[in-house]
Amino acid sequence: MNANPSRHHAAEWEEGAQLFDRTTRDLPPGRHQFHKERMMAQIHETRQAEHTGTGTQPAARATTRRLRLPRPAIVLPALAAAVAAAVVGVVSSGGGGGVRGGGVATGPALTTTVGAANAKGAPQLLDRIALTAAEVKQSAVKPGQYIYIESKMAESFVKTVNGKSSLASHELHTRQVWESPDGTEGWLIDPAVNDSPEGETLSLPDEQGNTPKAYLNAPSYDYLAKLTTDPDALLAKIYKETEGHGNSPDQEAFTTIGDLLGESYPPAELYAALFKAAAKIPGVVVVDDAVDAAGRHGVAVARLDENSGQREEWIFDKKTHVFLGERTVQVNGTSGEKGLIKPGTVVFTSAVMNRAVVDGIKQTPSQTG
């Protein structure tokens, strides 16, 4: 994609990654890294289709990654602009068959009843959640071990076939991720992303020989372990490092914390500090009843993005206050191509089913010791 990638040194890779991150983070809130993978795959497919002269079937798929900096070849402003232009609604679709879902079936759009939000009680709820998080017994991840996270997820998107657009969804599927403490080794199994059911490596260096450093929006366990656990200092860092991203500073701070809840492994003290920091973000509310991707009902800490009309919800067990999952729901107005994403549409939903430390890649907790 880049005519001469060898000309770019490490600082330019980082600059390009941040540019790409800013572009993709202008999407509605939700699992931005997930959508980033899908967009990168489509750009690759579109270019392959152009080279082969076909408009419906790509010649190949891009290798896509989550919790990693974008592939170093994607660093130029022009390509970042192309990503933004390619996005329609939540996940863009081409003039032919749109984004492929790998082994995930496509069905009707996901919908839900929009729950009432209450501005009162959010700080108190987050304080109780923080206390629960601080009590979690969590040992440090040792070199040679891996963080294993298993989730269920699904998303709605606008697809276009033969010039006609409609709202659809990729059905609920399981995603498994393994990552070493330093973030340089890992494995991903996700039928919405992988070509093969065996999954693909996330190990670094990448295809260009670069080993990008972990940062706030693509953290490793070692990176998280070094972050401040003072809520005020932590929130200040989040605002500073996400400045200029997303639709507003407050929404981007909320989304950044939410991203860390789903597919990372924060040490207990940091985990508690994240919730205390979230309590200080203006506009945070409580939704008394929300449902995660596994169908589990809970109470949600949420925030409405006034620009998109979409509400990001972090869902917790009502009794234990354990984090269950998250979802993004269109609450006000419409979004997407031709306003196809209407109130009640579940843009993205996920549920964390297992989070543990294991002794090897592709090993599950049931196989450990």
Query: Would you say how long the chain is, in residues?
Result: 369
For residue 99, pLDDT over 80 is answered with no
Residue 229 phi, psi dihedral angles, 5° rounding: -105, 10
> What count of other Cβ atoms lies within 10 Å of the Cβ of residue 340?
20
Indicate whether 83 pLDDT > 80.
no
Please report the sign of the dihedral spanned by the C-alpha atoms of residue 264, residue 267, residue 272, residue 274.
negative
Task: Look over the chain and give the mean of its residue pLDDT values, rounded to a whole number.
Answer: 78
Q: Alpha-carbon distance 192 to 210, whole Å?
A: 26
Helix (H) or strand (E) holding 94: none
Instruction: Name the token pair of 18.
Output: 């941040």
- Mean pLDDT for 306-325 is 97
Task: Name the band, by pLDDT with cuts 50, 70 and 90, for residue 319.
Answer: very high
**Chain mean position to CA 30:** 6
Q: What's the rounded Cα separation, in Å, for the pair 274 and 126?
A: 10
Note the pTM of the prediction, 2 decimals. 0.76
Strand partners, 329: 311, 346
Please state the rounded mean pLDDT for residues 154-161: 91
Average pLDDT over residues 53-65: 32
C-alpha gyration radius of the chain: 20
Residues 50, 41: Cα–Cα separation, whole Å: 14
Rounded to a whole number, what is the distance in angstroms from the first to the last CA of the chain?
44
CB of 103 closer than 8 Å to CB of 197: yes
- Decide if 300 contacts 312 (C-beta within 8 A): no
Asked if residue 124 lies in contact with residue 152, where contact means CB atoms within 8 angstroms, the answer is no
Q: Are 159 and 168 within 8 A, CB to CB?
A: yes
Mean local confidence (pLDDT), 319-347: 95
Residue 125 binned pLDDT confidence (cut-offs 50, 70, 90)? very high
Question: What pLDDT shows up at residue 102?
Answer: 59
Interval 48-54 mean pLDDT: 40
**Any idea which of 37-41, 89-93, 272-276 has the lowest mean pLDDT?**
89-93
- Write down the pLDDT at residue 336: 86
DSSP string covering 223-236, please?
HHHTS---HHHHHH
* pLDDT band at 215; cut points 50, 70, 90: very high
pLDDT at 46 over 80: no
pLDDT attached to residue 92:
37
Q: Is the pLDDT confidence value at 87 over 70?
A: no
